[in-house]
Amino acid sequence: MKKHVYEIDERGFLKEVYLADVDGEGNILDEDKQGFITVDYPSGLWKRKWNGTEWIEGESEEEKAEREAQQLLESLKPSPSEIANAELEIKVITMLTELEVLQ
């Protein structure tokens, strides 16, 4: 059977995800993937780190603050349709002003 297995770097951070052949007990059969982690990581981790027994959050407080600030900036950007609507409104207002409908 095939299963996701996880290669980690020297600090325990997730490096790459592979599919490997495993036996009925979950042991990796692929020679080139021996030593990879077979425990699936839980959802909700931003920076997956293996601590030797389980997956933990590896994101530092500084990284978290930077990520959240970037997400906030992205959420404040207008969408392409909002920009198009604003451009259309400006054109209509300009046209009505030039026709002296608006002053």
Domain coordinates in residue numbering, the chain: 2-57, 61-98
Two tokens, residue 102:
């608006």
Q: Does position 103 have pLDDT exceeding 90, yes or no?
A: no
Cα 92 to Cα 88, 99, 100: the distances in Å are: 6, 11, 12
Which pLDDT belongs to residue 101? 84
Which pLDDT belongs to residue 38? 93
Nearest-angstrom CA–CA distance, 42 and 53 = 13
Which pLDDT belongs to residue 70? 95
pLDDT digits (tens, 9 = 90+) for 17-76: 999 999 988 889 999 999 999 999 999 999 999 999 999 999 999 999 999 999 999 999
pLDDT band at 81 (very low <50, low <70, confident <90, very high): very high
pLDDT band at 102 (very low <50, low <70, confident <90, very high): confident
Phi, psi of 91 (to 5 degrees): -65, -40
